[in-house]
Every structure is written in C-alpha cells, then in structure tokens.
Amino acid sequence: MHESTTPLSINLLIFLLSAFLGLGLIRRVSKLLHTPLMSLTNAISSVSVVAALIVMAEPKNKMIMIFATIAVALAATNVISGFMITERILRMFKKDHGGKTP
Amino acid sequence: MHESTTPLSINLLIFLLSAFLGLGLIRRVSKLLHTPLMSLTNAISSVSVVAALIVMAEPKNKMIMIFATIAVALAATNVISGFMITERILRMFKKDHGGKTP
Amino acid sequence: MMGSLVSYLYVLSAVLFVFSLKWMSEVKTSRRGNWAGGAGMLIAVVATMIAYKTQHLDLVIIAMVVGTAIGIPIALKLPMTAVPQRTAMSHAFGSLAVALVGTAEYYQRLPEIDTFTMTVLAAEMILGYLTFTGSTIAFLKLQEMISGKPLIYKGRNIVSGLIVAIALGSAIGLIIAPTHPYFLPILVVAALLFGFLLVMGIGGADMPTVIAILNSYAGLSAAALGFVLDNQVLIVAGTLDGASGFILAILMCKAMNRSFASVLFGGFGATAAGQGAAVSGEIRPLSVEDAYIILEGASSVVFVPGYGLAVSQAQQAARELGEVLEKRGAEVSYGIHPVAGRMPGHMNVLLAEANVPYDQLIEAEQINAKMATTDVCVVIGANDVVNPAAQEDASSPLYGMPIIEVHKSRTVIVLKRSMRPGFAGVENPLFFKNNTRMLFGDAKATLQALVAEFAEK
Amino acid sequence: MMGSLVSYLYVLSAVLFVFSLKWMSEVKTSRRGNWAGGAGMLIAVVATMIAYKTQHLDLVIIAMVVGTAIGIPIALKLPMTAVPQRTAMSHAFGSLAVALVGTAEYYQRLPEIDTFTMTVLAAEMILGYLTFTGSTIAFLKLQEMISGKPLIYKGRNIVSGLIVAIALGSAIGLIIAPTHPYFLPILVVAALLFGFLLVMGIGGADMPTVIAILNSYAGLSAAALGFVLDNQVLIVAGTLDGASGFILAILMCKAMNRSFASVLFGGFGATAAGQGAAVSGEIRPLSVEDAYIILEGASSVVFVPGYGLAVSQAQQAARELGEVLEKRGAEVSYGIHPVAGRMPGHMNVLLAEANVPYDQLIEAEQINAKMATTDVCVVIGANDVVNPAAQEDASSPLYGMPIIEVHKSRTVIVLKRSMRPGFAGVENPLFFKNNTRMLFGDAKATLQALVAEFAEK
Ligand SMILES: NC(=O)c1ccc[n+]([C@@H]2O[C@H](COP(=O)([O-])OP(=O)(O)OC[C@H]3O[C@@H](n4cnc5c(N)ncnc54)[C@H](OP(=O)(O)O)[C@@H]3O)[C@@H](O)[C@H]2O)c1
Ligand SMILES: NC(=O)c1ccc[n+]([C@@H]2O[C@H](COP(=O)([O-])OP(=O)(O)OC[C@H]3O[C@@H](n4cnc5c(N)ncnc54)[C@H](OP(=O)(O)O)[C@@H]3O)[C@@H](O)[C@H]2O)c1
C-alpha cells in the first residue's frame, strides 16, 4: 500500500464506512462487557505502533528515530497489557456456579 | 476516481466494510417494513446505471453502445419505479386512525 | 492526492445509501430513508455524467426518458397485491441491465483483458443472466401465468449439473483465452438456461425466498462491476443490496423453519411435497348470520390475514369490520405472521393501504402471548401460517415452523373458499378442531356481508 | 492492480478488528473477539515490518521487548479494582505514542508538507498531546494521588480560551508556514497545557466519561495518522476505536442523565456541585446481629453494589454471603446500575472476578421490575445510584437519572462507613426512609461478619 498514494476520497470513504460500522457494532455490546470492551479498544488503538514502525523505517535524523522508538515501546506496552488484561477479565465471566469459562 | 486505478486490496476492503455494514443495518429493519425495504434495495441495486453510463461514454462499437443504452433504459425504469413505489407504500403507514403520515 | 470533485460526490452518494438503509429501519424515518436513497442515486448519476463525458448524450437522454416513461405508470398503477410480482419483474430488468453492461464491458476491453478482470466479469455475467431468466420465471409464476408447481422430470439433477458445468467451463475458457469468440455466447446461453431451470424447479412456496436471493445476486453483480470499473459507489451500493437480499432470505427461512441451503440449492431437489399425518374429522360450517352472532358477543377479536386476503383484495373490508367491532367496544388487533402472503411484510403493506394504523399490527410472538385470552380469531385467507400441525404433528413438512396459534383462542372463524390446502400443500387440522368454524366464500364478500349484518342491526 | 501481499494482510487485519468488536458483543464469543483483535494487531505489525524494511531492526526489537516487559507485569498484577486507573494510564501511553509519531512524521516530511497533510498532522498532534496530559491527570485523580475536586479558579474560562487560541493559532501558523521553527513547540506546549487544565477542571464524577472521550481521541489520532501515511489499517482500527469511546461516553451520559455537551465542554464549567433539597430525619443504625436476623428471614435478596464494593474489595465477601443465603433457600441476585463504580461495567467485572455467575447480574430496569416483591436489598457501598432524590426531588442535581429503586423493596440495608455523600456529593434521602437500616463499617468487614454469623448459627 505504500507504493502508490490512495486518493483522499477513498480513504475518506473507508473512514466513513468504518465509523458507521463501529457505531453499530459498539451499540450492540452487552453492558456486562463494557469494561473489557474499553480495555480491548484501548489495545486496538495502539495500532499506532504501525505508524511508528513506518516512520522508523527510514528516519531522516536521530531525533525522529528516538521519538519513533519511544512510540513503539509505549504502544507495545499497551498492546501487550491491553489484550492480556482483557483476556484476564473475560476469563472471569462464568455462567454457572463454579463452572468453567465456555 | 477514473483517472487512477485503486489497488484491488482497497476495493476489497471497501467491499468487506460495506458487507458488514449492510448485514448490520438490514438486521435492524423492522419486520413491518420488509416489503418497502425490498423495493428500496431493488431501486438501489439499479445503481448499475452508473456502470452503463461509464461504458457508454466511449463505446468502441455500435453493439456496445446498444447494449449500454438498453441497460440505461432498464436501470432507469427500476430506479424510477423502485423509489416511487417505496414512497407510495411508505405513505400508507399511519399510526393513528385516519391520521396523516408523520 | 486531493482527487476530483466527482470522487467526493461518489463518497457522498455512498453515504446517502448507507443512511437510506439506516433510516429504513423504523416507520418514523423510513420516508426520509427512501429520499436519501433517491438523492444518492441522483448524485451518483450526475457525478458519473460529469466524470465520463459521454459521446452519446442523446442516447442517454432517450434511454432515461424511456425508462421514466415505463417506470412511472408501473409505480402509480400497480395494485399493492401485485408488489411481489413487480419486485420479480424489476429484478429481471435490473439483472438484464447488469448482464448487458458486463457483456458490453467485455467487448469494450477486448482484446486485452487481464485474468482478474475476466474472472470478475465472467462471474458477473453468469450471475446477471441467470438472475434475468430466473426472475422472469419467478414473475410468471407469481403472476400465475405459468403453474407454480416445481418442474420435475427424470434426470433433472444431471441436466442442471451439465449446464452448470458448461457455464463454468466456458467461464474458465474465457479466463484462459478471453479473445476466443465462442466462449461468451456459450456462457450466456448456459447461464440463461440455468436460471430458467433453477426457478422452474422451485415450488411456488419458495418463490419469495428465491426473489430475495436473486435480489442479492443483482446487488453482487453491481458490486462486481464496481471492481471491474474501479468504481466505489457501485461496490458500496451493490454490496449493501447484496446484504439486504441475503438477510431477508435468511429471515424468511427462519420464519418457515427451512434451512437456507435447502432453498439455495432448491433447484436440485423438489420442495418436500406436503405429506404429514392424514387429517380427518368433522368440519363445522357457519353462516354469515351465525358468525355475526359470535362476533357480536366478542370483547376481543384478532384478525389473522394470509394470502387469501391479498387474492380477494379484502383489506378494506377487513378494516371496516374491525372498525365496526371497535366501535362496539371490542378490542381489535391484527396478528401478522412474517411469511403470511407472498413476500415479507406483505400483510403489513396491504393493511396499511387500507388505513389500518400500524400499531394495531402485532407480530406473531406477541399476539400468541394473548391468544388464550382472545375471544374470537378471524382467519382471513390464511392457512399454512395458522396450521397447528406445525406444533402437533412431527411428520408434517411444516413441523417446527412458528405459527400464529389461533387454535388456542376461544373461537376461530376461518374465511376461505374451500377445503383446499394452502401454499405448502399440507392439510390443516385446524379446520377440524372443536373451536373452529368454517365460513366459506370469497373473503372480501364474506367480510362485506358481515359488515352489512352489523349495519342492519 | 493486484497490489502486494502486504496490502491483503492489511485487509485481513482490518477484518479481524471488525470481528473482534462483533464478537465482543456477548460473553459467549467475547474471548474469541479478544483473540481476533490480537491476531489483527500481530498481522498488522508483521505486514508493516515486511513492507517497510526498517533500518533499525535492533531498536524495534529493543522497544518491543521493553514494551512487553512493562506490559506483562501490569496485565498480570493489576487488581481488578484498579482497572479504571490502568485504562487512563494506558491512554496516556497510547496518546503519547501517537503524538510522538505525529511529531516525528512532521520532521520527517520537512521541508515540503502539503496543506492537507499539515492540517491533519496538526490536528493529530493537538489531540495526541492533550490526551496525554489529560489522561495522566485522569490517572492521578482516579488513583487518588491528587484531589478529585475540579480545579476552579477565577478567570478559568479566559485562561482556557487563551490556550486554545494559542494552540489553534500555532496550528494555523504551521499550515501556512510548515518550516517555521517556533510553531511546533508552541503547539505542543499549548496542547499539553490544555489537556492538563481540561481534566484538572473536571470533577471526579465525570472522570469515566472523560476517559471514554479520551479513548475516542486516541482512536481518531491513529486514524488521522492513517490519512497522513496512507495506511488503511490505521484508518479502520483507529475509527472503530474512536466510535467505541464515543458510544460509551454517550451511554454513560444517558445513564447519568447528563448532556453529552456538558461533559465534553466540562472544562469550561464546573460540575454542578451537589445541592438539592436538604434532607433530614432519623437514621436507623443496625448491628450485624440485627442484620443477620433480617436476612435470615428473607426469601428474596438483591445485592446492589457500588463504588464502595470496589474500595473495600468486598466482592468475594459479597459472593460468600450470597451463596450462604442461596443455600438457605433465598433467591439471590445482583442489581447492576450502568454507572455504579468508576467505569462502565465495573461491577460486572468485580463480581465476575469473585465467581458470581453472570446470569445473576441483573440490569437496572429488570431488577426494578422485581423490587416490589423483594424482601431485602443490601446496598454495598453504593450511594448515588440508589438515591431516590433522582425521582423525588426535582431540585436535585441527580434528578432524572435512572436509579435502582431499592427504596421500593420491603427492607433496605445500607453498608457504608459514614453518612458522607457519594461521588456526586448529593445527600441521599434513602438513608432516612422508614424501611432503611444503616449498617456502618467497611463493607468487606461487615459482609464477613455476616457470613460468620450465618456460620455460627
Ligand atoms: N410471505 C412470505 O414472505 C413467504 C415467503 C416464502 C413462502 N411463503 C409461503 O406462503 C404461505 C403463506 O401462508 P398463508 O397462510 O398466508 O397462505 P396460504 O397457506 O397460501 O393459504 C392461503 C389460503 O387463502 C385461501 N384463499 C385464496 N383466495 C381466497 C379468497 N379469494 N377468499 C378467501 N380465501 C382465499 C386459500 O384457500 P381456498 O383456496 O380454499 O380459498 C388458501 O388456503 C406459507 O406457506 C409460506 O411459507 C411466504
Ligand atoms: N461507573 C461509571 O461508569 C461512572 C461514570 C461516570 C460517573 N460515575 C459516577 O460514580 C458514581 C457511582 O455511584 P455509586 O453509587 O457506585 O458510588 P458513590 O455514589 O460514589 O458512593 C460510593 C459509596 O461507597 C461508600 N464507601 C466507600 N468506601 C467504602 C468502604 N470501604 N466500605 C463501605 N462503603 C464504602 C461511600 O460512603 P462512605 O464514605 O460513607 O463509606 C460512598 O457513599 C455516580 O455518581 C456516577 O454518576 C460512574
């Protein structure tokens, strides 16, 4: 995707479709799960690690490299802890007394 | 959009996002409205008139031109009758005895 | 990078289509939804005409005028009872358009067509042409211009399989050698034939589901054209449409308790012809006067309309009777089964046409909850959707289908012309129950006679 | 036209993110949803590393190892009661990352940055830096390392307005003259300062809503980077995330009966400090023994947990008491208010941690329908969410907020340490009602004492 530039209008379309889709999907999440939803989306928002990696590929100078490296570390922290905490929380939800997670 | 070609992957992404979105949206349509929904989507599917117009812009030969012209006429029939019938049906739905449509 | 104005118009159009479906979800916003769809279409067309300056504006205008001239009378004159047929017909139109465009684009691109484009085009043409003949047959069946019975003959599966093989074979041929002159005509003929046989082989009862699936195909073909022409508005609108047909088909199958696959591949197997336990017993016919007496004493009445209401155009008469009963203090509502009639939402539209307020139209589940406390159910030309065999007789082909449980009300009055079975061809034990009375005759005439009884007294 | 493998990996990743949220909608599929999200992330990262072969693989690996080394212990050791704080902290991390990438990209592109890119970058940096300081303050407030009270001083609006003006001014400066060396530092400082003041000015009670909004900002910044870097996976994932924070914030506002705008622009006005009618009357304190006697005779008990449950970590004790009561034949359920605690779903998570099966967790509306037939409500450290002033006192700041109507049950036992008001700072008339008994003390200790009573007898 980095070889050619996509017209802005197409990216806009993708943005709008994602926004509609996201609004519809989140509305349907059970109230029971709002806390793990927050930690999950928190992890997903760290997709910015992708941006950091792109910038880091060919940095023009040291400062850019340092900024991007810090960003990768920060985002990686979020990714790891975000998905792991979500998993930890979700494992707790059980339907029956003493039953195992489905 | 016709100046450059969009990578297939991007079109695929748009297709998938639209599919998810469509499935979510249609699921939420009240049963009351399934008939007008069918006539509406029927009209929308005649967006293929756009394709016919594109082909017709610079047809290489007569046959292509004739095919495209017929397609425009057929699609136009659907567009007009589709939206108009939907409107006619929807006007019938009233909440109160003898009340006007909202 | 900023792209042209036209590309933003396309985005706007796509967004309007999304809003169109979003707003269609409830009655309150549904008309806005329809207008949004219309606006989206207009913008898409205008943007296209700006972007691709056509050499043949005259032809475009003529085609559009012709389309409008045909479309407007259809839209204005169509009786509501004919909505299913008109949907089938317009699918035929739409898919023919899509198929012709695909074919034109094929010739336009010759002699250089890359593999991807050719694959999509071939799929698009197969879908388009088969939908064309399929929808035409569906139209003819619904309009009762040909028999609704599935066409069954020996070796049917072999013939169908052969035709599919030919269609796919010529598609592969085209993909390998796009310039070869014979593959395309073979593909077209095979696809047309396959659509014809597919829908000829499906019983009338499955026709609405078939229409929904064909609707889905039409949308997907438009989306396929979007891939070929690199046009995102085609992709978005086509896909939304494809999703719609798909979901409606699934919902219908659920309401009929049939597997989606059994309809989807219906062409390869006949609809289970109605069997089930033989039903016998005494039927209790009723005169209009007796029915009047029963209704007169009822304090809660539920009308359950079915296909017969559409056939006899009895919606106005039903509403009149309902109003008369309401004025006499009875509680009146309408129980709407999701597959009553011949298309999803059919009854809602007919009753809305007759000015029945939509909050009196109650869905099956809710009305069933009230059945035990209902005095009289008036079944107006419904049959399969009130067949208790669906709950009582495990050998019935309807077994497991959700029904409106009229037999649980105190008295059931069934309005129909004869003892003939309904669409599914299954006998109905309801007619033999102790609390059921048969009121034979055309539904509209019967209802009008009842209204007259009330007027007299 | 076919594009590279990497671009398809990106599509796969985007689809996985969509499925992740889809599956998150119900408990049954939620873990699958989390894994789908993780897989989407992994694929996105791997695809990026393939596509943009980095010159600094060593640094990337070190950064990832460091991130993992910090992330794992956080994830494993974090007590469930601290989830809100950790969310705030990780928003701080995430937004700093986004802001730094934006800044780096700015320097990378210098000296030629087109207007569009610069506009998006400026917006992205403002959002990123303000979210960083804002989330940090939110973290400190939730962790109670600084006071939860809104920072109010004279001329607050003017100062905030000034800082916003400076931030926007330098953004416009950058757009006009991207190479000017001063604009960026000014923009960064102003954004940082604005985020600081914004959240300092918001009362603790609005903190969860603020966190949700900041979550939304973090997602939108990622999407903005997607536009700048022409990367669709960033656009899709960022936008989905943006939508999520937005919806959660709206749902919270609804549950608290506050307008979205009043929170969104909260920085410019103090949270309405609790007033409402003065409440007076007699309170009826209770001993543990007396509470035992009441519970002993109850055949239906509803626990209503609130923030106090989290503070005293009483979830295990609550479940134990619940089980004891169940064993004695009482019907036990938990009434969960959507904004009980300090983040949406907070109570569900704590009780799930204590092995309470989730079908015993009942939403407010349903539990309210059963209140009149409930013998005893045990309010465990909840206050605002059971405040009947929300229904009875039009002058109360809580008026109109949906509550759990414990006062409609036969007897209410309130577990808290004092008569201090809850988060909203509003007096609670519930404590003075005839059917209310106050059981003072730390919730966990009290519950354990009750369990012990049952064990003895
Ligand atoms: N709606 C959908 O979307 C959909 C989709 C797929 C399949 N279907 C199928 O369509 C059927 C719908 O069930 P249904 O109960 O509505 O209809 P039905 O089972 O087809 O029964 C209709 C009844 O109406 C009677 N009738 C016909 N003309 C009449 C007239 N002029 N006056 C009075 N009665 C008249 C017929 O009996 P007489 O001939 O004795 O008068 C017939 O028994 C189901 O089998 C369903 O699965 C519907
Ligand atoms: N959950 C969310 O998403 C969210 C979002 C935005 C705002 N909020 C706000 O947060 C508040 C939540 O209401 P809530 O009823 O859960 O909590 P609350 O109104 O804040 O009341 C908590 C009560 O717990 C008691 N408590 C504290 N520590 C305790 C301990 N160790 N043992 C026993 N009791 C203890 C406190 O009284 P004592 O000090 O006397 O013990 C306090 O009155 C609402 O105002 C809501 O609007 C929540």
- Can you give the pLDDT at residue B97? 54
- Contacts for C325 with CB less than 8 Å, ≥ 6 apart: C295, C298, C301, C332
List beta partners, residue C303. Answer: C334, C378
Beta-carbon-side half-sphere exposure of residue C353 (alpha carbons within 13 Å): 26
In the prediction, which pLDDT does A1 show?
Answer: 35
- Token pair belonging to B49: 């008139």
Q: Are B93 and B32 in contact (CB under 8 A)?
A: yes
Q: Are B53 and B76 contacting, i.e. CB atoms less than 8 angstroms apart?
A: no
User: pLDDT at position D336, please?
Assistant: 93
| Residue A15 falls inside a structural domain | yes
Contacts of residue C74 in chain B, CB cutoff 8 Å? 77, 81, 85
Q: Supply C166's token pair.
A: 């030919």
Do strands C411-416 and D411-416 pair parallel, antiparallel, or not at all (unpaired)? Answer: unpaired
Q: Quick check: CB of C209 below 6 Å from ligand 1?
A: yes
Q: Identify which of C213, C384, C413, C431 to mutate to test ligand 1's pocket (most ligand atoms within 8 A of the CB).
A: C384
pLDDT at D301 over 50: yes
Question: D342 CA to middle of ligand 2, Å?
Answer: 8
User: What is the mean predicted confidence (pLDDT) over C18-41?
Assistant: 94
Asked whether residue D399 is assigned to any structural domain, the reply reads: yes
With CB atoms and an 8 Å threshold, state whether B10 touches A14: yes
Beta bridge partners, C414, equal C379, C438
Q: State residue A59's pLDDT score.
A: 85
The reported pLDDT for the residue numbered C135 is 92
**Ligand lying closest to the C-alpha of residue C304:** 1
Q: A51 pLDDT band (50/70/90 cuts)?
A: very high
Which entry of C206, C241, C384, C393 is annotated as an active-site residue?
Answer: C384
The finding on whether C83 has its CB within 6 A of some atom of ligand 1 is no
Among residues D95, D77, D100, D90, the alpha carbon closest in space to that of D139 is found at D90
Residue B29 lies in a domain: yes
Note the pLDDT of residue D264.
58
* Enclosing H/E stretch for C362: strand C361-363
Same domain as C96, residue C42: no
Whether residue A59 is contained in a domain is answered as yes
Cβ–Cβ below 8 Å for C8 and A12: yes
All residues of chain B having their beta carbon less than 8 Å from the beta carbon of residue A6 are 6-7, 10
> Is residue D380 domain-shared with residue D406, that is, in the same domain?
yes
> Which token pair is D78?
């974090």
- Evaluate whether residue A45 is within a structural domain: yes
C-alpha closest to that of D121 among D196, D178, D185: D178
Residue D384 bears catalytic tag: yes
> What's the pLDDT score for residue D126?
94
Q: What tens digit of pLDDT does each residue of D11-61 get? A: 999 999 999 999 999 888 999 999 999 999 999 999 999 888 888 888 999
D184 ligand 2 Cβ < 6 A: no
CA–CA separation, C454 vs C129, rounded Å?
55
End-of-domain residue from the set D12, D42, D77: D77
Q: Are residues D91 and D18 in the same domain?
A: no
Query: Domain span at residue D194?
Result: 81-271
How far the first Cα of chain A sits from its last, in Å, is: 39
For ligand 1, is residue C403 a contact (CB within 6 Å)?
Answer: no
Q: Does some domain include residue B15?
A: yes
**D304-345, pLDDT tens digit by residue?**
999 999 888 899 999 999 999 999 889 999 999 988 888 888
Residue B1 within a domain: no
Find the catalytic residue in D230, D359, D375, D384: D384
Which of A10, A24, A25 has the CB atom closest to B10's CB atom? A10
> What mean pLDDT do residues C100-119 have?
90
For residues D85 and D64, state if they share a domain.
Answer: no
As a whole number, mean pLDDT of residues C185-194 equals 94
Q: Ligand 1 centre and the CA of C310: distance in Å?
A: 9
Chains that touch A (3 or more CB pairs under 8 A): B, C, D
Question: Is the peptide bond between C111 and the residue preceding it cis, with omega within 30 degrees of 0?
Answer: yes
Q: Rounded CA gap, D46 and D39, in Å?
A: 10
- Which residue has the least CA distance to atom 46 on ligand 1? C339
In a domain, B20, yes or no: yes
pLDDT on residue C68: 93
* Domain of residue D371, CATH code: 3.40.50.1220
Judge whether B54 is closer than 8 Å to chain C, CB to CB.
Answer: yes
ipTM of this complex: 0.87
* pLDDT single digits (tens) C113-170: 888 899 999 999 999 999 999 999 999 988 888 877 777 777 777 888 899 999 999 9
Same domain, D224 and D359: no
Q: Are C325 and C262 in a shared domain?
A: no
- C93 with C69, same domain: the answer is no
pLDDT of C380 above 60: yes
What's the residue count for chain B?
A: 102
Is there a contact between B47 and C41 if contact means CB atoms under 8 Å apart? Answer: yes
Q: Distance, CA D384 to ligand 2 centroid (Å)?
A: 7
Q: Hey, is the C-beta of B1 within 8 angstroms of any chain A C-beta?
A: yes
pLDDT band of C255, cuts 50, 70, 90: confident
**Domain co-membership, C95 together with C214:** yes
**Of D1, D114, D116, which is closest to C116 when you measure between CB atoms?**
D1
- Record: contact C56-B59, CB cut-off 8 A: yes
pLDDT of res. C109: 87
Tens digit of each residue's pLDDT (9 = 90 or more) over D235-291: 999 999 999 999 988 888 888 777 777 765 554 334 444 455 666 778 888 898 999
From chain D, the residues in CB contact with B5 under 8 A are 1
Domain membership flag for residue C276: no
Chain B nearest-CA residue for A26: B24
Cα distance from B29 to chain D (closest Cα, Å)?
Answer: 19
Residues C132 and C182 in one domain: yes
Q: How many CB atoms lie within 10 A of CB C324?
A: 17
Decide: helix, strand or coil at residue C129.
Answer: helix
Interface check for A12 against chain C (CB to CB < 8 A): the answer is yes
Tens-digit pLDDT profile for residues D366-395: 999 999 999 999 999 999 999 998 888 888
Helices marked H in C357-438? 364-370, 389-392
Non-local CB neighbours of D299 within 8 Å, separated by 6+ positions: D329, D330, D331, D375
Q: Which residue has the higher pLDDT, D399 or D449?
A: D449
CB-based contact, B21 to chain A, within 8 Å: yes
CA distance C428 to C409: 17
User: For residue C2, which residues of chain D lie inside 8 Å, CB to CB?
Assistant: 116
Contact map slice: B 59-88 vs A, CB within 8 A: none
How many domains does chain B divide into? 1
Residue D339 and residue D424 in one domain: yes
Mean pLDDT by runs of 10 across the 102 residues of chain B is 69 95 92 89 92 89 92 94 92 64 38
Residue numbers in A near C3 (CB within 8 A): 7-10
- Out of C3, C18, C236, closest to residue A7 by CB: C3
- Look at D425 and C449; give whichever has higher pLDDT: C449
Which ligand lies nearest the alpha carbon of D341?
2
- CA distance linking residue A25 with residue A22, whole number of Å: 5
Q: What is the pLDDT of residue C113?
A: 86
At C228, list the tokens.
Answer: 């070929």
Domain containing A29 equals 7-93
Taking contacts as CB-CB distances below 8 angstroms, the residues of chain D near B13 are: 10-11, 14, 232, 236
Each residue of D192-240: pLDDT tens digit?
999 998 888 887 677 788 888 888 988 999 999 999 999 999 999 999 9
Name the residue of D339, D377, D378, D431 whose CB sits within 8 Å of the most ligand 2 atoms, as the mutation to test its pocket.
Answer: D339
Would you say residue C103 lies in a domain?
Answer: yes
Q: Give per-residue pLDDT as tens, D110-166.
A: 888 888 899 999 999 999 999 999 999 999 988 888 877 777 777 777 888 899 999
Q: Is D263 exposed, middle or buried (0-12, 13-18, 19+ CB in 10 A)?
A: buried
Residues C346 and C262 in one domain: no
The answer to whether residue B98 is domain-embedded is no
pLDDT band at D191 (very low <50, low <70, confident <90, very high): very high
* D72 shares its domain with D88: no
Q: How many domains does chain D have?
A: 3
The pLDDT score that the predictor gives to residue D457 is 72
